[in-house]
Amino acid sequence: MRRRCAAPGAPTIPGTAVKPRRRTLDETVAATSRPVPPVPDQGDLVDHWHECGLLDDAQVDALGGEQQ
């Protein structure tokens, strides 16, 4: 069996010199496109920024937030 070493500066598995397997494009897309459940009692940032005066009504509409 041939021993492989990671290139200098490459991320390695802790405690070894073995570089982890590179993810395929399908695996990367699947990991980044999965829905993230909302956190209980988490407010909407667009609404918060609108209430603070950082966004006007047109910017809120462009971001898809709800106006109060």
- pLDDT of 8: 67
Q: What is the pLDDT along the chain (68 residues), one digit of tens a residue?
A: 455 665 666 666 677 767 778 889 999 998 888 787 777 877 788 888 899 999 999 988 888 755 54
Residue 31 domain flag: no
Q: Which residue has the tokens 């109060």?
A: 68
**Is 14 contained in some domain?**
no
61 domain residue, yes or no: yes
Per-residue exposure over 17-50, b if at least 16 CB sit within 10 Å of its own CB, e if not: eeeeeeeeeeeeeeeeeeeeeeeeeeeeebeeeb
> What confidence score (pLDDT) does residue 26 get?
93
What residues make up the domain containing 58? 43-68
- Please indicate, yes or no, if residue 64 is contained in any of the structural domains: yes
* Residue 35 within a domain: no
In the prediction, which pLDDT does 1 show? 46
If one counts the domains in the chain, the total is 1
The Cβ-side half-sphere exposure at 16, using a 13 Å CA radius, reads: 7
pLDDT at residue 13 in the model:
66
Structure tokens at 42: 């988490």
pLDDT of residue 16: 73
